[in-house]
Amino acid sequence: MQGRARADRDLWDAGDITGSLVPPGSVFAFLAGHRRELFPDSFTADLFRSGTGRPSLPADLIGSVLVLKELYALSDTQAADALKFDLRWKVACGRSLLQTSFDPSALVYWRRRIAASQRPDRVFDAVAEVIALTGILRGRRKRCVDSTVFDDAVATQDTVTQLVAAIRRVARVAGGAAQVIAQVCQLDYSRPGKPPIDWDDPQAKEALVSDLVNDALAVLEALTGPDAPERDAAAADALGLLALVAGQDVEPAEDSDGTDGRWRIARKVAPDRVISTVDQEARHTRKCKSKRRDGFRGHVAAEPETGLITDCEMTMATGPGSTDAENGVKMAGRDRFHSSPAAAADGDAGVPEQPQGAGVPEQPAAQMPDRGWPGDGSPAGPAPGPATAAAEQENAAAGGRDDAEPQAGAGADAGPDAVPDPPRSARNDAGPGDEQAGPGAGAREAGDGNADADADARAGAPAGTGAEAEQGTGLEVYGDSAYGSGEARAAYRDGGHDTFIKPGPLRPAVPCGFTIDDFAVDEEQGTVTCPNGVTRPMSAARTVTFGAACAGCPLRAQCTTAKDGRSMTIHPHEGLLRAARARASTEEFRQAYPTRSNIERTIAWTATQDGRRVRLRYIGTSKNDAWLHTRCAGLNLRTLVKAGLTRRGGAWALA
């Protein structure tokens, strides 16, 4: 049954005895006074349908512990110890000085119960509801998007380790598989560790790879043949994993077609390669060309003036659904703090904005407490006092700072994708991560040159409606070139959103030569005209070949070095991409785009703790996505507390 917090206090209540030691204006002090309003009994009521049995931990206790645990990037054991020994935790959670903590496994239980419920992100939702009720984001349309790579919780495995582990897994979970493996395999998989060979002998290693692959194929043939019984989900997954790792990293040996049983490790990396049999969703990826990372990709959308995270998503590092462009569109489409024209047309108004006089003091958007970063044009916020200074100390202890300069060491340890931004005067239009060209960059990004389509694309409006009709109704999305694919720009336009997204660079076939923007595209006629005035039709696949026309062309040296002449593929969203490149050269874009750099600070807060990168503790995308949402909830709560979050007249308000 659901446990409820006691209304009376213990004689040794930590808040009564040591509450004065907790810095005012900190998250600890806020939870000490308002945790029951933030996490009422209804926070976990749906998890307990029965009114009988042993009472669970109270909702305000478990909610506070989950927030503090992820805000300070602690393990389950560290969080349980903090609740037992740390006075700040005891005060924040309403504990007695003499109370011990719960077992760390209780947190595993709660995460599983919450993940299996209809509200798996309830901690993030609870803080988001407070954000909506305070009105701090009322009238704020800007959203900055970015991503960063989180290191996974498992070790990256080589081919030999994966094959051995996959065969042993089949032996454990598939009925009768252990006897089959002992009969058909050449190697003994009952012994722990790798097979004993001379690892300095290349021929011995090649022979081992061949034996492992042949054993895997023999096991699959014996257990998945036409006469094989139907397997349960665990056995089917184990056999599927074995088939995957037996084929993703190997190829027939030199002078072999694979039928003679000779194999070798492939001289390439398989696309979407599984890097561990323990966490099958962890992937190789690169945030830049010089550094490879293994893990997951976290996507974050934030309001730049307040620093509040409006949405987040954890995906695999590579593969379907993991690109920045896809997730940028997804987060803009489900933004709960601003109703887009598309959402309004569908009858989904998101979180309703509380009207003036409904328990929350109405404040103009320009007077909302902001970070007040120098040089960014935002209001400077209240003068620092004792509470603000205490909040800054607590913020620094939690892995971030709210002043204009990044914490020492945080930028270097955060990597190229999470460097806190410098003052605005020191920034340029290119930010960290811009070197990663987004999908559709290069020769495949272009526009149709149509003046009306140019104006509509510039404002993020559907073609033919005009820029003025849509201006100011959707979000303003700021992102680097990874978010500027043609498909993403079309989705933003259809959703009624304006975009300040840096276009991908054009790379001419000849240095300093013609780019695709120098070719005129006529979508109505389906033709492309080159700089020399030669017109060729587009094929059904939108390819164009100029061929023999390039032979005697006086501009050939500036256009192509191909023997068969210039050829190109025209992107389906040519007009949007070309219009985006044209807009990027305007003064309006140059003044607005630096707003994107504010997301770097938010990414640094999310991905670092005490100047070091946060390493994931969980297996799989769904568990790590739950962690990211709780982490962002803690960061949002800290931002709100520093902005003066309090209760006034029974409603949430900003001081």
Within a domain: residue 477?
no
Task: Please determine, for residue 417, whether its predicted confidence score (pLDDT) is greater than 80.
Answer: no
Whether residues 66 and 181 share a domain: the answer is no
* Gap between the Cα atoms of 490 and 134, Å rounded: 33
Whether residues 383 and 402 share a domain: the answer is yes
Half-sphere exposure of 216 (CA within 13 A, CB side): 30
Nearest to 476 by CA among 454, 453, 496: 496
Nearest to 481 by CA among 92, 146, 212, 8: 146
Query: DSSP code of 549?
Result: G
Task: Catalogue the E-assigned strands of 563-606.
Answer: 567-569
Task: Please determine, for residue 426, whether its predicted confidence score (pLDDT) is greater than 50.
Answer: no
Whether residues 309 and 377 share a domain: the answer is yes
Whether residues 430 and 449 share a domain: the answer is no
Nearest to 567 by CA among 633, 516, 602, 607: 516
In degrees rounded to 5, what are phi and psi of residue 412? -70, -40
* Gap between the Cα atoms of 340 and 331, Å rounded: 12
Residue pair 340/497 in contact (Cβ under 8 Å)? The answer is: yes
Task: Please give the residue that has the higher pLDDT: either 415 or 39.
Answer: 39
Whether residues 508 and 570 share a domain: the answer is yes
pLDDT > 90 in the chain, percent: 62
Nearest to 237 by CA among 296, 197, 277, 276: 277
Residue carrying structure tokens 């979180």: 351
* Three-class SS of 600-622: HHHHHHHHEECCEECECCCCCHH
Residue pair 307/371 in contact (Cβ under 8 Å)? The answer is: yes
CB atoms within 10 A of CB 521: 24
Q: Using CA of residue 100, residue 105, residue 111, residue 117, what is the dihedral sign?
A: negative
* Gap between the Cα atoms of 551 and 561, Å rounded: 11
Within a domain: residue 328?
yes
Q: How confident is the model at residue 107 (pLDDT cuts 50, 70, 90)?
A: very high
Q: What secondary structure does DSSP assign to 5-53, as a single string?
A: --SS--TTBHHHHHGGGSPTTSHHHHHHHHHHHHS-GGGTGGG---S-S
Q: What pLDDT digit, counting tens, does each position of 128-143 carry?
A: 999 999 999 999 999 9
The residues, ordered by sequence, that sit 6+ positions from 405 with a Cβ below 8 Å of its Cβ are none
Within a domain: residue 485?
no
Domain span including residue 112: 14-120
Task: Please determine, for residue 390, whether its predicted confidence score (pLDDT) is greater than 60.
Answer: no
Q: What pLDDT digit, counting tens, does each position of 598-617 carry?
A: 999 999 999 999 999 999 99
Which of 545, 572, 595 lies at the terminal end of a domain, its last residue? 595
The residues, ordered by sequence, that sit 6+ positions from 523 with a Cβ below 8 Å of its Cβ are 448, 450, 574, 575
* Gap between the Cα atoms of 278 and 38, Å rounded: 37
Task: Catalogue the E-assigned strands of 208-334.
Answer: 250-252, 263-265, 283-288, 291-302, 309-316
Fill in the amino acid letter for 261.
Answer: G
User: For the chain, first and last CA: distance in Å?
Assistant: 38
Residue pair 60/5 in contact (Cβ under 8 Å)? The answer is: yes
Based on the number of CB atoms within 10 Å of its own CB, is 104 exposed (0-12), middle (13-18) or buried (19 or more)? middle
Token pair in block for residue 548: 């023999």
Whether residues 74 and 22 share a domain: the answer is yes
Q: How far is CA 412 from the centre of its chain?
A: 21
* Gap between the Cα atoms of 57 and 4, Å rounded: 7
pLDDT > 70 in the chain, percent: 80
State the Rg of the chain over Cα.
Answer: 29
* Gap between the Cα atoms of 534 and 548, Å rounded: 11
Q: What pLDDT digit, counting tens, does each position of 214-262 carry?
A: 999 999 999 988 888 888 999 999 999 999 999 898 889 888 887 888 8
Query: DSSP code of 390?
Result: H
* Gap between the Cα atoms of 237 and 324, Å rounded: 29
Which of 569, 595, 621 lies at the terminal end of a domain, its last residue? 595
Whether residues 176 and 215 share a domain: the answer is yes
Q: What secondary structure does DSSP assign to 410-425, as a single string?
A: HHHHH-TTSPPP--GG
Whether residues 448 and 312 share a domain: the answer is no
Within a domain: residue 272?
no
Give Dmax (Cα) for the chain: 96
Element (H, E) at 653: strand 651-654
Whether residues 141 and 290 share a domain: the answer is yes
pLDDT score of 341:
61
Q: Which residues on neighbouring strands pair with residue 569, listed in sequence order?
A: 543
* Three-class SS of 329-382: HHHHHCCCCCCCHHHHHCCCCCCCCCCCCCCCCCCCHHHCCCCCCCCCCCCCCC
Q: What share of the chain is helix, strand, coil (3-state, %, to 5)?
A: 40, 10, 45
* Gap between the Cα atoms of 621 and 88, Å rounded: 32
Q: What pLDDT digit, counting tens, does each position of 458-471 carry?
A: 334 333 333 333 34
Within a domain: residue 481?
no
Residue carrying structure tokens 């946060």: 614
Q: What pLDDT digit, counting tens, does each position of 506-563 carry?
A: 989 899 999 999 999 999 999 999 999 999 999 999 999 999 999 989 999 999 999 9
Task: Please determine, for residue 446, whether its predicted confidence score (pLDDT) is greater than 60.
Answer: no
Residue pair 24/386 in contact (Cβ under 8 Å)? The answer is: yes
pLDDT score of 433:
37
Whether residues 525 and 578 share a domain: the answer is yes
Within a domain: residue 127?
no
pLDDT score of 347:
52
Which of 551, 575, 595 lies at the terminal end of a domain, its last residue? 595
Within a domain: residue 49?
yes
pLDDT score of 342:
57
Fill in the amino acid letter for 530.
Answer: C
Whether residues 308 and 425 share a domain: the answer is yes
Task: Please determine, for residue 588, whether its predicted confidence score (pLDDT) is greater than 90.
Answer: yes
* Gap between the Cα atoms of 353 and 137, Å rounded: 9
pLDDT score of 344:
55
Strands 476-479 and 142-151, bridge-based pairing: parallel
Residue pair 331/313 in contact (Cβ under 8 Å)? The answer is: yes
| Three-state secondary structure call for residue 487 | helix
The residues, ordered by sequence, that sit 6+ positions from 643 with a Cβ below 8 Å of its Cβ are 136, 306, 368, 369, 654
Task: Please determine, for residue 123, whether its predicted confidence score (pLDDT) is greater than 80.
Answer: yes
Q: How far is CA 127 from the centre of its chain?
A: 19
Q: Which residues on neighbouring strands pair with residue 294, listed in sequence order?
A: 284
Segment 188-208 mean pLDDT: 89
| Three-state secondary structure call for residue 537 | strand
Within a domain: residue 476?
no
Domains: count for the chain: 4
Q: What pLDDT digit, counting tens, does each position of 293-317 carry?
A: 899 999 999 999 999 999 999 999 9
Whether residues 641 and 618 share a domain: the answer is yes
Segment 275-279 mean pLDDT: 93
Query: DSSP code of 405?
Result: S
Segment 115-140 mean pLDDT: 95
Q: What pLDDT digit, counting tens, does each position of 66-101 carry?
A: 999 999 999 999 999 999 999 999 999 999 999 899
| Three-state secondary structure call for residue 302 | strand
